[in-house]
Amino acid sequence: MNLRAFDPLHALSVPLEQLLAGGGDTRLNLDPQTQLNGYGCRPFPRLEAFTFASSTATSISSRAYAAASAARRTLLREASETNFDSAFDAQVEALRDGIKAVLDIEDTGCEIVFSPSGTDSQLHALYLSRALLGTPLMSMIAAADETGSGAAFATSGRHFNNATAQGAVVSRGEPMLGLADRLHMASVSMRDDFGALRPVSQVDDDIRYTVGRAVADGKHVVLFAMDSSKFGLRSPSDECLQKIAASADGKVQIVIDACQARLSRTRLKNYLAQGFMVLITGSKFFTGAPFSGALLVPRELAARCASLDRVPEGLHAYTCRADWPRSFAGVRAGLPFGGNIGSWLRWVSALEEMRAYYEAPASFRTLALEQFAETLPCLIEAEPCLKALPLPLHLSNDEEFSARTIFPFFLVHKGVRMSNRNAGLIYRALNDDVSGILPSILPPTLRILAARRCHIGQPVAVADGHGGSFGALRISAGARFVSESWSGDFVESREKLRAEFDQVRAIIEKISLLVRYFDIVESAYTQPTFAPSYQVSAA
């Protein structure tokens, strides 16, 4: 739905779930029967599902849905007393203040630029980097094989979807006016052709060499570094980033892709203190309604951005005035009036989840995530049809995020790892009631399990060394794993954590069931007359 095409007060009066699914691109499109988007989420609470999908996206919680509903009522009242543009602008500014407070970055002097998704925020980072550094510019992606499918397009100034958040019809892959010209691309992968992780030192050397060569050739560089990837990894290392920053001489801008939001508030503040822009979302770890993106601009860069007064024409289809802070007066003046109601409401939902997460004591947050990190490998290892994806030891010193929160694994069927395509079929069936397609001889307990809807992280393609790819599914701990377990009492909260692990066990048992009957699942999900809940979108 293009909210900008309607009278604002009329647009605010439509059902809340319609607003939460609006103001974005085709990734938010809903199946008319199930009301699920391509990521297996819906824009109203999905209490019947066991959900550990925060590495991809999560349906909105009842708590966050109520917060969005209250925010909508407040905006309706204030807009009727003044006018929509000023009332909405005030609400978005208050949202900025709320996010800064909960992330403890109020004293950093940073500014927040909102967007409908992390991919949209990459466009904002590219625009500001171009404006501040000049061209020719090299845009470089670290961990290119473990980032979103639209990143290569957005960081090169190209349309990453066939529709934009403002409702414009575009062509995916086509250059955007004012963003793609005099722009060169480079990328460095974390894995080799056989899917194995390359040594960190080798990846760091490749990144430093590529950046240094570009600067020597007279180019400026915007480096999109990763913290953390689809599998929870970082690239390049902190040491590499510090060396690049120390030798940048005003020619390199580092942008940290922290869209998973799996980093401590201390680490986030350190990035901003070093002058790095940071990309975050409220819809990955924090489990706000999908999608919501933001670009954090550190103090010194924000001061320089205050003098910008030209916005590339190609960006007009993606953003509007209220997305940008009031201190960016020139940027705002070059953009259309109005704001993105859907994006704002999704961020309202995310802020509610962020507050709930940080209301739990730090000691409990650490305990919960450490228990998750200790338990998941054991559960995966105990199931013969699951094979954990080899990952390095998680030794970062990052408060509660010192524990790993994303656990990827391959599926093994008839002694062979499943392809990415077949893992996608299991992923879809896992999130469906498949009791009707499995054999009638199943005992009642397994039929109940087959009916259970279980939502986990989408499969990620991992090269198999022969031109194809295996699919790695992911079970992840999100903010709700902590906040919905914390009750104010440690003993009672530990019991709630045990109940969460019971859900994980049920998910793994259903995966095992689906793999056992994969031939039936494959037949059902590939025949033309079969209508599953949803189609998988590219992650």
Per-residue pLDDT for 259 more than 50?
yes
Q: So what's the pLDDT on residue 530? A: 57
* Nearest by Cα to 297 from 284, 279, 310, 314: 279
Per-residue pLDDT for 388 more than 80?
yes
* 8 Å CB contact between 331 and 124: no
Q: So what's the pLDDT on residue 397? A: 87
Task: State the residue for tokens 């849905």.
Answer: 65
DSSP for 405-472, written as a single string: -EEEEEEEETTEEPBHHHHHHHHHHHTS--TTTS-TTS-HHHHHHHH--EEEEEEEEEE-SSS-EEEE
pLDDT in tens, 89-126: 999 999 999 999 999 999 999 999 999 999 999 999 99
Per-residue pLDDT for 367 more than 60?
yes
CA separation for the pair 379, 410 (Å, rounded): 14
* Nearest by Cα to 9 from 60, 165, 19: 19
- The conformational region for residue 533 under phi > 0 = left, psi -120 to 50 = alpha, else beta, is alpha
Q: So what's the pLDDT on residue 533? A: 57
| Amino acid identity, position 234 | R
| Amino acid identity, position 462 | V
Q: So what's the pLDDT on residue 336? A: 82
**Which one is the CATH code of 108-341: 3.20.20.150, 3.40.50.10440, 3.30.70.20, 3.40.640.10?**
3.40.640.10
Task: State the residue for tokens 């240094």.
Answer: 212
Phi, psi at 231, each rounded to 5°: -105, 10
Per-residue pLDDT for 3 more than 50?
no
Average pLDDT rounded to a whole number, residues 230-238: 97
Q: Grade residue 447 by pLDDT with cuts at 50, 70 and 90.
A: very high
User: In terms of C-beta density within 10 A (0-12 exposed, 13-18 middle, 19 or more buried), how is residue 388 classed?
Assistant: middle
* 253 bridge partner residues: 222
Any idea of the CA torsion for 53, 203, 256, 135, to the nearest 10 degrees? Answer: -130
Q: So what's the pLDDT on residue 535? A: 57
* 8 Å CB contact between 337 and 451: no
pLDDT in tens, 170-192: 999 999 999 999 999 999 999 99
Token output for 279: 């990309």
Which residues in 127-233 belong to E strands, given as ranges?
Answer: 137-142, 183-188, 220-227
Average pLDDT rounded to a whole number, residues 235-251: 96
Q: Grade residue 360 by pLDDT with cuts at 50, 70 and 90.
A: very high
CA separation for the pair 140, 315 (Å, rounded): 20
Q: Grade residue 2 by pLDDT with cuts at 50, 70 and 90.
A: very low
Q: Tell how far CA 244 is from the center of its chain.
A: 26
* Nearest by Cα to 522 from 422, 450, 433: 422
CATH 3.90.1150 fits 360-526, yes or no: yes
pLDDT in tens, 460-500: 999 999 999 999 999 999 999 999 999 999 999 999 999 99
User: In terms of C-beta density within 10 A (0-12 exposed, 13-18 middle, 19 or more buried), how is residue 136 classed?
Assistant: middle
Average pLDDT rounded to a whole number, residues 375-384: 97
pLDDT in tens, 10-51: 788 899 999 999 999 999 999 998 899 999 999 999 999 999
* 8 Å CB contact between 229 and 146: yes
Which residues in 228-373 belong to E strands, given as ranges?
Answer: 234-235, 252-257, 277-281, 293-297
pLDDT in tens, 290-341: 999 999 999 999 999 999 999 999 999 999 999 999 999 999 999 988 789 9
Counting every residue written for the chain, the total comes to: 539
**Domain limits of the chain?**
108-341, 360-526
Shared fold status for 108-341 and 360-526:
no
